[in-house]
Amino acid sequence: MRSDTSGKPRLVGVFEIRLILGLSRQRIHQLADRPDFPKPFQELAMGRVWLEEDIENWSLGQQPGR
């Protein structure tokens, strides 16, 4: 699990997920609505955030072409 310098788990938003997965913002929003995509850690005024570890683990289980 990646963490920031304080040792806390790292939170990521749609922008960071785009970088991790190499997908468009629109595709991330589509994936986020699927039942097999990780549930957000929290919903903030700025949008949903996920644990980076959850996104990376989900990505490892996906087939190319998603």
Kindly state whether residue 20 falls inside one of the protein's structural domains. Answer: yes
Kindly state whether residue 2 falls inside one of the protein's structural domains. Answer: no
Cβ count near 47 (within 10 Å): 12
Kindly state whether residue 1 falls inside one of the protein's structural domains. Answer: no
Q: Which residues pair with 12 in a beta bridge?
A: 50
Q: Say whether pLDDT at 65 is over 90.
A: no
- Domain of residue 37: give its range: 11-60
pTM: 0.81
Q: Please, are residues 8 and 52 in contact by the beta-carbon 8 Å criterion? A: no
Kindly state whether residue 37 falls inside one of the protein's structural domains. Answer: yes
Kindly state whether residue 6 falls inside one of the protein's structural domains. Answer: no
Q: Given this model, what pLDDT does residue 8 score? A: 87
pLDDT tens digits for range 21-45: 999 999 999 999 999 999 999 999 9
Kindly state whether residue 47 falls inside one of the protein's structural domains. Answer: yes
Q: Given this model, what pLDDT does residue 7 score? A: 80
Kindly state whether residue 34 falls inside one of the protein's structural domains. Answer: yes
Kindly state whether residue 5 falls inside one of the protein's structural domains. Answer: no
Q: Given this model, what pLDDT does residue 62 score? A: 86
Q: 41 vs 3, which has greater pLDDT?
A: 41
Q: Among residues 6, 5, 25, 11, which one has the least CA distance to residue 56? A: 11
Q: Considering its fold, how many domains does the chain have in total?
A: 1
